[in-house]
């Protein structure tokens, strides 16, 4: 929206959205809440009031804190801004409460809107009826003449959570899930999400200066994520966000935030992240992504089978070796998966002595049998309970 100080609507937006401390909710994967909270507290946001709650993190801040969170948080799924809360036990009460909603402060007539509803322990529990009530109210408020063409570029999501007859209404500031960094297309069998990759790198105590070998790199998620971290590049640098289509969006503030972030980028004189895979096409794709997104100064790719690769061929001193071996959808049977895992473990214990390890295991019992002296951290990905094996290989 154009910042016209004489525009009554803009004055309302400035007073009620831009100028106020707002409540935000960061959605995270289970188990990553504390990591994400630490990330949030490391940012220079205007209000340090933040806490872990069920499903994520609640914090208070101004609109530009929402910009900072979306741009910088590596382990967050999305950032929601609370825009309303009320009680309703029937459709009449719901309609009455919705009449007081100033949707024009958060949406434009051209917004393509999708509404998500969850309910629990409430007399109003029919999700479709609730969704229709919201859709009709928004349409009446924003587009009374029903003649506004919707924009494909302005996709907005409203999240409605109903619990114990209380409605909490939020607008999604992120748009696409934040694991979509804008670096690569998504496909293949069971790729690990960037948010999980960032979390595992942090849990493995990756220091961003040591060598990293990603010898079963696949689409390169670990290597690219580690490169962003090492170069101090925000994970959201190469993408857009839903808040950029809000009536309250302040382009100059956003441009300032990005300029400030760029001054903190780090350039490397030699490559210390080595992405390798026996699939040559995968390696070429990782190499192209590294060049396209200013990461080729730190990422080097090789097409070599893990079992034929020696770390001494790449670097003379140890760092972190991180592996997401095939399991589940990426391999045939459980016995085949276990066999590959044991072969990988033998190779690591033979040739990677002194290296820090971050190895994903689908079989926790097998993980402890192969690495009894290391640490084990359970986590979930794609509905599977997995184990991160971490520690120094001896």
Q: What is the domain-level CATH number for residue 274? A: 3.40.50.150
Is residue 7 very low, low, confident or very high in pLDDT (cuts 50, 70, 90)? confident
Cβ atoms of 390 and 374 closer than 8 Å = yes
Asked if the model's pLDDT at residue 4 lies above 80, the reply is no
Domain closes at, from 138, 172, 206: 172
Q: Verify that 217 and 112 share a domain, yes or no.
A: no
Is 244 within the bounds of a domain?
no
Summarize pLDDT for 260-319 with one digit per residue, the tens. Answer: 999 999 999 999 999 999 999 999 999 999 999 999 999 999 999 999 999 999 999 999
Is 227 within the bounds of a domain?
yes
Where in the sequence is the domain holding 290, given as residue range(s)?
194-231+268-392
Is 273 within the bounds of a domain?
yes
Is 149 within the bounds of a domain?
yes
Q: Verify that 293 and 385 share a domain, yes or no.
A: yes
Q: Verify that 205 and 318 share a domain, yes or no.
A: yes
Q: Verify that 98 and 146 share a domain, yes or no.
A: yes
Cβ atoms of 386 and 361 closer than 8 Å = yes
Asked if the model's pLDDT at residue 187 lies above 60, the reply is no
Q: What is the domain count for the chain? A: 2
Q: Verify that 155 and 24 share a domain, yes or no.
A: yes
Is residue 5 very low, low, confident or very high in pLDDT (cuts 50, 70, 90)? low
Is 239 within the bounds of a domain?
no
Q: Verify that 168 and 201 share a domain, yes or no.
A: no
Longest dimension (CA), the chain: 72
Is 329 within the bounds of a domain?
yes
Cβ atoms of 210 and 319 closer than 8 Å = yes
Q: How many residues appear in the chain?
A: 394
CATH number of the domain encompassing residue 120: 3.30.2130.30
Summarize pLDDT for 209-234 with one digit per residue, the tens. Answer: 999 999 999 999 999 999 999 999 99
Q: Verify that 364 and 289 share a domain, yes or no.
A: yes
Q: Verify that 113 and 211 share a domain, yes or no.
A: no
Is residue 190 very low, low, confident or very high in pLDDT (cuts 50, 70, 90)? low
Is residue 3 very low, low, confident or very high in pLDDT (cuts 50, 70, 90)? low
Q: Verify that 19 and 69 share a domain, yes or no.
A: yes
For position 29, what pLDDT does the model report?
94
% of the chain exceeding 90 in pLDDT: 87
Summarize pLDDT for 361-375 with one digit per residue, the tens. Answer: 999 999 999 999 999
Is 185 within the bounds of a domain?
no
Is 186 within the bounds of a domain?
no
Report the candidate in 391, 384, 378, 385 with the shortest Cα–Cα distance to residue 199: 378
For position 124, what pLDDT does the model report?
93
For position 44, what pLDDT does the model report?
76
Asked if the model's pLDDT at residue 205 lies above 80, the reply is yes
Q: Verify that 155 and 69 share a domain, yes or no.
A: yes
Q: Pick the residue with more confidence: 108 or 47?
A: 108
Q: Model's pTM, two decimal places? A: 0.93
The token pair that represents 234 in the structure block? 């925000």
For position 100, what pLDDT does the model report?
86
Contacts 24+ apart (CB under 8 A), 288-296: 289/183, 289/184, 289/220, 289/224, 290/220, 290/223, 290/224, 290/227, 293/183, 293/224, 293/238, 294/231, 294/233, 295/224, 295/227, 295/228, 295/231, 296/271
Q: Verify that 281 and 333 share a domain, yes or no.
A: yes
Summarize pLDDT for 340-391 with one digit per residue, the tens. Answer: 999 999 999 999 999 999 999 999 999 999 999 999 999 988 888 999 999 9
For position 197, what pLDDT does the model report?
98
Q: Within 10 Å of residue 130's Cβ, how many Cβ atoms?
A: 22
Asked if the model's pLDDT at residue 189 lies above 70, the reply is no
Summarize pLDDT for 97-152 with one digit per residue, the tens. Answer: 999 899 999 999 999 999 999 999 999 989 999 999 999 999 999 976 655 678 88
Please give, one letter per residue, the 3-state secondary structure of the chain.
CCCCCCCHHHHHHHHHHHCCCEEEEEEECCCCHHHHHHHHHHCCCCCCCEEEECCEEEEEECHHHHHHHHHHCCCEEEEEEEEEEEECCCHHHHHHHHCCCCHHHCCCCCCEEEEEEEEECCCCCCHHHHHHHHHHHHHHHHCCCCCCCCCCCCEEEEEEEEECCEEEEEEECCCCCCCCCCCCCCCCCCCCCHHHHHHHHHHCCCCCCCCEEECCCCCCHHHHHHHHHHCCCCCCCCCCCHHHHCCCCCHHHHHHHHHHHHCCCCCCCCCCEEEECCCHHHHHHHHHHHHHCCCCCCEEEECCCHHHCCHHHCCCCCCEEEECCCCHHHCCCHHHHHHHHHHHHHHHHHHCCCCEEEEEECCHHHHHHHCCCCEEEEEEECCEEEEEEEEECC
């Amino acid at each position: 929206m154009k910042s016209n100080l004489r525009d009554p609507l803009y004055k309302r937006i400035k007073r009620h959205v831009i100028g106020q401390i707002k409540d935000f909710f960061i959605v995270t994967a289970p188990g990553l809440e504390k990591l994400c909270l630490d990330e949030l507290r490391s940012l220079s946001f205007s209000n340090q009031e933040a806490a872990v709650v069920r499903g994520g993190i609640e914090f208070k801040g101004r609109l530009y804190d929402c910009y900072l969170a979306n741009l910088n948080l590596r382990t967050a799924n999305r950032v929601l801004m609370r825009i309303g809360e009320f009680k309703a036990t029937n459709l009449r009460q719901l309609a009455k409460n919705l009449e007081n909603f100033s949707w024009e402060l958060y949406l434009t007539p051209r917004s393509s809107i999708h509404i998500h509803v969850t309910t629990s322990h409430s007399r109003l529990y029919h999700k479709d009826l609730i969704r229709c009530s919201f859709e009709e109210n928004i349409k009446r408020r924003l587009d009374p003449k029903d003649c506004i063409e919707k924009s494909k570029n302005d996709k907005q999501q409203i999240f409605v959570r109903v619990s114990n007859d209380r409605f909490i209404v939020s607008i999604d500031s992120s748009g696409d899930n934040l694991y979509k960094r804008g670096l690569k297309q998504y496909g293949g069998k069971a790729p690990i999400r960037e948010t999980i990759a960032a979390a595992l790198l942090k849990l493995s105590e990756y220091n961003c200066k040591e060598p990293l070998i990603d010898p079963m790199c696949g689409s390169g998620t670990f290597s690219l994520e580690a490169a962003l971290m090492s170069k101090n590049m925000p994970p959201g640098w190469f993408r857009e966000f839903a808040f950029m289509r809000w009536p309250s969006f302040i382009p100059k503030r956003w441009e300032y935030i990005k300029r400030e972030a760029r001054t903190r980028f780090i350039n490397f004189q030699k490559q210390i992240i080595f992405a390798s895979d026996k699939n040559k096409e995968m390696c070429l794709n990782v190499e192209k992504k590294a060049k396209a997104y200013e990461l080729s100064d730190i990422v080097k790719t090789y097409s070599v089978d893990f079992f034929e690769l020696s770390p001494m061929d790449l670097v003379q001193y140890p760092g972190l070796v991180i592996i997401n071996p095939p399991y589940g959808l990426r391999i045939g049977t459980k016995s085949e998966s276990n066999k590959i895992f044991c072969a990988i473990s033998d190779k690591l214990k033979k040739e990677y002595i002194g290296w820090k390890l971050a190895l994903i295991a689908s079989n926790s019992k097998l993980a402890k049998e192969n690495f009894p002296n290391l640490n084990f951290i359970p986590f979930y990905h794609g509905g599977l309970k997995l184990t991160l094996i971490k520690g120094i290989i001896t």
